[in-house]
Amino acid sequence: MNAGDPLHDLGVRLGPSGGELRLWSEHADALELVIFDDKDLNWITQSVEMTRDEGAVWSARSDELVHGRRYAVRASGPSTPNNAFDPHLLLLDPYARGLARVSAEQWRSVVVDDAFDWGGVQKPRIPLDRTVVYEAHVKGLSKLHPDVPEELRGTYAGLAHPAMIAHLHDLGVTSVELLPVHAYTSEQRLIKQGLVNYWGYNTLNFFSPHAAYATKAAQAGGADAVLREFKGMVKLLHEAGLEVILDVVYNHTAEEGPGGPRTSLRGIDNASYYRQDATGAYIDVTGCGNTVDFGHPVPQRLVLDSLRYWAEEVQIDGFRFDLAATLGRNEAVEFTPDHPLLGAIISDPALVDAKMIAEPWDVGMGGWQTGNFPSGWHEWNDRYRDRVRNFWLSDIDYARRADAPVGIGGFATRLAGSSNTFSAERGPLASVNFITAHDGFTLADLVSYDVKHNVGNGESNRDGTDNNRSFNHGAEGPTDDEAILAARRKAMRNLLGTLLLSAGIPMITAGDEFGRSQRGNNNAYCHDSELTWVGWAREPWQDQLLAHSRRLLELRREHPALRPEHFGAAGTSVPGASAMDWFDATGGTMSTDDWTSPRNRTLQFFSTSTPESEALDRVLLIVHGVEQPVDVTLPEHDGVTAYRRIWNSADDVPVAGEDEFSPGRTVSVAATSMQLFQAV
């Protein structure tokens, strides 16, 4: 306990004779701790008036506040436009470590026994240049896996089952990024429609794991058992050398708009926790009904305390921040890179080893901030996503009807680490590269549909983006046309190849490694069904795509020239950077016109590592973005006597160890394809 810190030890702290609840509210007139019977969560056994200190922290002690106890808070205060007090409501402690559900819209806070034997298991601490993120849904990943016992499917325990770990190891990813696992609920609109919030971006509490993802046995055991199962999952993944990253939603809560539920923050201090104008109208930059006010120090502290808890007590390795631009908005609701919360997250001693990944936008004014976060942050790179999709999909679609709209220069910049987006100080590892994510088309749908098919979402196909940059290759959705199917398969290999051979941190969406489909739905957030669960029964072409995914990840591990830590600088050797040389199809140096002309969509990218801890490595990547084959002359390069082809996207099945080619020799490159060579 730090007595000099006015916000120390918020939530429940236990002692030898019960416990103490500490809760912050600046505008309340009175707060009351309410304790419930062990079995009947509507039967109040004790009410304790809370007292306020000079820092607006309210506290109460009770000998009934012990492990397993369910409790709530009542709050009274002024009736003003910015407040929403109701002394009859039973509210959640914002710092509760566990929740117990009473009804469809009511919960109780739970005092949790968080003791756990980690057995000496440590965090893997994967170096950034070797990190490969695998974005997955806890339930959806294992729900249909035939080798996971039925009672474990779709649970925390199921995710850590040996069958799941074997797949992750076999694939070659390093870090599992889980869609939200903070306790959440479905929005009122979805409930009325008979739908659910499957993704989980509707948080009830920032400290409690979502109980519905635990096994039935753990749920029956209560909040203690749910937390133990969650920690057990983390421990087993760590033992397997896999990191756990949480997708966290601090920008808004499940209390929705002003007329929405009052479950916690709104009833405790609406004026302080949510952005409002003088009339009490919400300033919503999230599109979710409310926005947490990070111009105020107490909501900032809530986020930091939550992150510390998950990083220290639950041993989480990193966090991906949903709509992270919201966390950087000041009192004037303007984004600023030097926002105290953004700085504190990456400088807090308890968090310095954690990976911090921003979704660098929200829906407010000035909401797109890719590249503008401070050093120490990594960012989802939507500009990378869009350029790569354009090059391999929408440009090809356009070229079939006219000429290719752009050349290869912008694509090459993304391939080399997006130096036009991220500063030299931050380098290529600031970029989290992705082609797909949980929202949007899957990889297979990206090459199979021109438009979204979201009628099943209940919004008359209005929801979900229309800017997919996709290409169906000649037929919308399923087809028996073998030429179209072959073109789609190669397009998926090109997209995965670009992702896994680019400088930066790659992120794969679960199931994309073998071509999972959502039947053209690009916003399947409200479907908890086989539409969104990963299917593990595969057709032969899917096994072939999985083999390519494995091979590409193997090549990334083996070749440091593909994963530089820093941007290179002309005329000097930068440790940890890759020296890059660019050649045209004839083996000559790229001219200015070659970079910008739509007539040139072929290049050769030669990358040489600058050794620090690994041996010297040199690779040559040929990229050809036209639907006609081309002959390419391999470039002359100092010290290179041969090129050994180690991957070709034109192959249905990956082939390694082909014959070597001497510099100056011509190789045939198939239409819209890539080839990777090791230079020797």
pLDDT in tens, 532-545: 999 999 999 999 99
Does residue 57 lie in a domain region? yes
Does residue 35 lie in a domain region? yes
Contact between residue 672 and residue 491 where contact means Cβ atoms under 8 Å apart: yes
Q: What confidence tens digit (pLDDT) does each residue in 408-426 have?
A: 999 999 999 999 999 999 9
Q: How far apart are the two ends of the chain, measured CA to CA in Å?
A: 60
Q: What confidence tens digit (pLDDT) does each residue in 164-210 have?
A: 999 999 999 999 999 999 999 999 999 999 999 999 999 999 999 99
Residue among 210, 142, 199 at smallest CA distance from 525: 199
- Total domains, the chain: 2
Q: Exposure of 388 by Cβ count < 10 A (0-12 exposed, 13-18 middle, 19+ buried)? A: buried
Beta bridge pairs of residue 193:
none
User: DSSP states of 377-417 as a string?
Assistant: -EEE-HHHHHHHHIIIIIHHHHHHHS--SS-SHHHHHHHTT
C-alpha dist (Å) from residue 645 to 412, 490, 638, 675: 20, 18, 19, 7
| Residue 579 scores a pLDDT above 50 | yes
Point out the catalytic residue in the list 322, 395, 445, 512: 322
Question: Secondary structure of the chain: what % helix, strand, coil (to 5)?
Answer: 25, 20, 50
Q: Lowest-pLDDT range, 189-193, 494-498, 508-512?
A: 189-193
Point out the catalytic residue in the list 284, 305, 317, 359: 359
User: Which pLDDT score is estimated for 501?
Assistant: 98
| Residue 1 scores a pLDDT above 50 | no
Does residue 359 carry a catalytic annotation?
yes
Q: What confidence tens digit (pLDDT) does each residue in 134-156 have?
A: 999 999 999 999 999 999 999 99
- Helix (H) or strand (E) segment spanning residue 228: helix 223-239
CA atoms within 13 A on the CB side of 404: 21
Q: What confidence tens digit (pLDDT) does each residue in 235-255 have?
A: 999 999 999 999 999 999 999
CA atoms within 13 A on the CB side of 527: 19
Does residue 239 carry a catalytic annotation?
no
Contact between residue 567 and residue 514 where contact means Cβ atoms under 8 Å apart: no
- 626: domain CATH number? 2.60.40.1180
Does residue 449 lie in a domain region? no
The pTM of the full predicted model, rounded to 2 decimals, is 0.97
- 77: domain CATH number? 2.60.40.10
Find the length of the chain: 680
- End-of-domain residue from the set 47, 82, 110: 110
State which amino acid sits at residue 369: Q
Contact between residue 253 and residue 203 where contact means Cβ atoms under 8 Å apart: yes
Does residue 342 lie in a domain region? no
* Token reading at 571: 């005329």
Q: Distance (Å, rounded) from C-alpha 247 to C-alpha 232?
A: 19
Q: Sorting pLDDT into bands at 50, 70 and 90, what band is 105?
A: confident
Residue 667: which domain range? 572-679
State which amino acid sits at residue 377: W
Q: Exposure of 537 by Cβ count < 10 A (0-12 exposed, 13-18 middle, 19+ buried)? A: exposed
User: Which pLDDT score is estimated for 143?
Assistant: 98
Tokens 């649970």 locate to: 155
- End-of-domain residue from the set 72, 94, 110: 110
Does residue 243 lie in a domain region? no
Average pLDDT taken over every residue of the chain? 97
Q: What confidence tens digit (pLDDT) does each residue in 362-418 have?
A: 999 999 999 999 999 999 999 999 999 999 999 999 999 998 899 999 999 999 999
Does residue 655 lie in a domain region? yes
Does residue 82 lie in a domain region? yes
- End-of-domain residue from the set 69, 95, 110: 110
CA-based R_g, the chain, Å: 27
Average pLDDT over residues 458-484: 97
Tokens 């306990």 locate to: 1
Q: Distance (Å, rounded) from C-alpha 293 to C-alpha 280?
A: 13
Does residue 1 lie in a domain region? no
